[in-house]
Amino acid sequence: MIRKWEERDLSDLMTIWNNVVAAGRFFPDKELLDLDGMRHMAERQAFMGVAEEDGRVLGLYILHPNGIGRCAHVANCGYMVAEGARGRGIGRQLVCHSLEKAGELGFTGVQFNAVVASNTGAIALYESLEFRRLGTVPGGYLTDAGPEDMHIYFHATSTNI
């Protein structure tokens, strides 16, 4: 089940967030969050969804405008799945829910700015859901091992103009 985040989720969300960010492989943030930081980040989103199963938080997504002003009608999302819950279709559920929620909130599309080229699981998922690759930024993502290419993807929502 995917639902809106609640205060009771913050510790689990923080753990998932920090584990993914610390890995440095596929999510661009570098800053680890404490509970107040996680709360502040969650409150800044247009929506933050939580994947929950049997009372356990298994993943999250954040949804917010991709830009400001004349670009704010296109959303940007980021997804994180707890390490022990990967490979079970939770990422697909999060992405599908985010597309629906983006449309409900009036966004005309969802754009991903930094899909790391070696993140083949995410690329396969996005392409299976008919996201369109718009281009590649050579060396646009810095890993601990050095620069890696990153792709830009787009998917229109049902409210697309």
| Cα distances (angstroms) measured from residue 84 to each of 15, 90, 103 | 12, 11, 30
Using the Cα atoms of residue 22, residue 36, residue 122 and residue 151 in order, give the sign of their dihedral: negative
The CATH number given to 2-156 is 3.40.630.30
pLDDT category of residue 136 using cuts at 50, 70 and 90:
very high
136-143 average pLDDT score: 96
Concatenated DSSP letters of the chain:
-EEE--GGGHHHHHHHHHHHHHH-SS--------HHHHHHHHHHSSEEEEEEETTEEEEEEEEEESSSGGGTTEEEEEEEE-GGGTTSSHHHHHHHHHHHHHHHTT-SEEEEEEEETT-HHHHHHHHHTT-EEEEEEEEEEEETTEEEEEEEEEEE-TT--
Is pTM beyond 0.75? Reply is: yes
Q: What is the pLDDT of residues 80-122, one digit of tens each?
A: 999 999 889 999 999 999 999 999 999 999 999 999 999 999 9
The two tokens of residue 57 are 């938080």
User: pLDDT category, 18, cuts 50, 70, 90?
Assistant: very high
Classify residue 89 as left (phi > 0), alpha (psi -120 to 50) or beta: left
User: How confident is the model over 16-20, as a mean pLDDT?
Assistant: 96
Question: Confidence band (pLDDT; 50, 70, 90) for 145?
Answer: confident
Q: Tens digit of pLDDT for each residue in 52-74?
A: 999 999 999 999 999 999 999 99
For the chain, the structural domain boundaries read 2-156
Phi, psi for 97 (deg, rounded to 5)? -65, -40
